[in-house]
Amino acid sequence: MAELDNIIHQPVRLRIMSSLVTLEPGEQVDFVYMRKILKLTDGNLGAHLTKLENAGYIKIEKTFIARKPRTFINATGKGRDAFQDHIAALQAIIHGKKEIDN
Amino acid sequence: MDVSQKEAKDSLNQIQEAATYTRKTITASYDSGLLIMWGLICIAAFLGTHFFHNWAGYIWWVLSGAGVVLTFLVVRHQFRQANPTKTPAAERIGWRIFWFWTLLFVYIFVWLSVLAPVKDLQMNAFIITVIMFAYVVTGLWFRSYHMLWLGIVVTCTTLVGYYLIPVGYYCLWMATTAGGAILGTGLYTRFFWK
């Protein structure tokens, strides 16, 4: 039975994972771009990304493109699986199967 | 963690909204600027042709040439520096798109030489519809459905202009419908697409 994920369920992290999982596997999104589309500050986004990275749900890559530093983020396989499990748990709640206590 | 049915529904709605918005904004970031530029070029070229018919050839060569150069510079900048996403295949895909468009224009010249002589109106409608074919195809490839529909709509308006609109008003028709549709799609995807 799928369980709700405390880490993913936080509203900002939920939006982050929703955005990342939308991308194709292996596709990375730029940090600045993610900050804009989610309308977050650098610090706020950075803190939530750290939490997700520590859980193994995302990977953060810092690199240089045309000599400018850029940070790219992508969801890991573990993160995608955890996200799908979280969705399944939400759907189970909606269909009234069970309220899940964590 | 206790979550009510309402909270669960709200979460799923948020997930759907975030996913849709992300895909739309990333897609729009690639082509909205180019659509705005080519929409303006299209409007200017058709209006220029209508009011300064004797200079039509020069107008189209200059504006189209400028558009091609700017497109190349914008796309190169996009892929090198401002790309919102990075995929392992991004550079390969970028070059394929570049060569696709280059070869398409080569083939346009080839087809026109084979079909010659063609009237100005025929050549214009032919070039526009071939470009719109490319929009439809790339829209399908990259799941950019706004490009697909734009290609279909402008093809239809071009055919209406070619077959039904009096020749003297063809350019005004095309400036409004084709140019307007391309510009409008670019503006919509850049500023209003949610």
Q: Test A14 with B11 for CB contact under 8 angstroms.
A: yes
Among candidates B2, B9, B87 on the partner chain, residue whose Cβ is nearest the Cβ of A27: B87
> Looking at the predicted structure, is the pLDDT value of residue A25 above 90?
no
Residue B85 pLDDT class (50, 70, 90 cuts): confident
* pLDDT at residue A76, rounded to an integer: 95
- Rounded Cα distance between A12 and A53, Å, is 14
Structure tokens, B147 = 């490009």
Report the mean per-residue pLDDT for chain A.
88
* pLDDT at residue B145, rounded to an integer: 85
- Rounded Cα distance between A100 and B9, Å, is 15
- Rounded Cα distance between B109 and B107, Å, is 5
* pLDDT at residue A1, rounded to an integer: 62
The string of pLDDT tens digits covering residues A5-23 is 999 999 999 999 999 998 8
Among candidates A6, A23, A93 on the partner chain, residue whose Cβ is nearest the Cβ of B85: A23
| pTM of the predicted protein model | 0.72
> Per mean pLDDT, which of A24-28, B102-106, B188-192 is the most reliable?
B102-106
Judge whether A84 is closer than 8 Å to chain B, CB to CB. Answer: no
Q: Which residue has 């307007």 as its token pair?
A: B180
Q: Test B2 with A29 for CB contact under 8 angstroms.
A: no
Q: C-alpha A67: how far from its chain's center?
A: 28
| ipTM score for this prediction | 0.83
Q: Could you please report the per-residue DSSP string of A9-27? A: HSHHHHHHHHHHHHSPTT-
Q: Test B11 with A9 for CB contact under 8 angstroms.
A: yes
Q: Is the CB of residue A60 less than 8 Å from the CB of residue A53?
A: yes
The shortest C-alpha distance from A55 to chain B (Å) reads: 18
Q: What is the mean pLDDT of residues B118-142?
A: 91
CA atoms within 13 A of residue B173's CA, in its CB half-sphere: 20
Q: What is the mean pLDDT of residues B125-152?
A: 90
* pLDDT at residue A99, rounded to an integer: 47
Share of chain A above pLDDT 90, in %: 59
Judge whether A99 is closer than 8 Å to chain B, CB to CB. Answer: yes
What does each C-alpha distance from A78 to A49, A81, A85, B149 come to in angstroms? Answer: 15, 5, 11, 37
The string of pLDDT tens digits covering residues B91-121 is 666 778 778 888 998 999 899 999 988 898 9
User: What are the chain A neighbours of B73 within 8 Å (beta carbons)?
Assistant: none
> Looking at the predicted structure, is the pLDDT value of residue A100 above 50?
no
The shortest C-alpha distance from B8 to chain A (Å) reads: 5
The string of pLDDT tens digits covering residues B147-163 is 899 999 999 999 999 99
Judge whether A65 is closer than 8 Å to chain B, CB to CB. Answer: yes
Segments in chain A forming alpha helices (H): 6-9, 11-22, 31-38, 42-54, 77-94
User: What are the chain A neighbours of B84 within 8 Å (beta carbons)?
Assistant: 29-30, 33
User: What are the chain A neighbours of B21 within 8 Å (beta carbons)?
Assistant: 19, 37
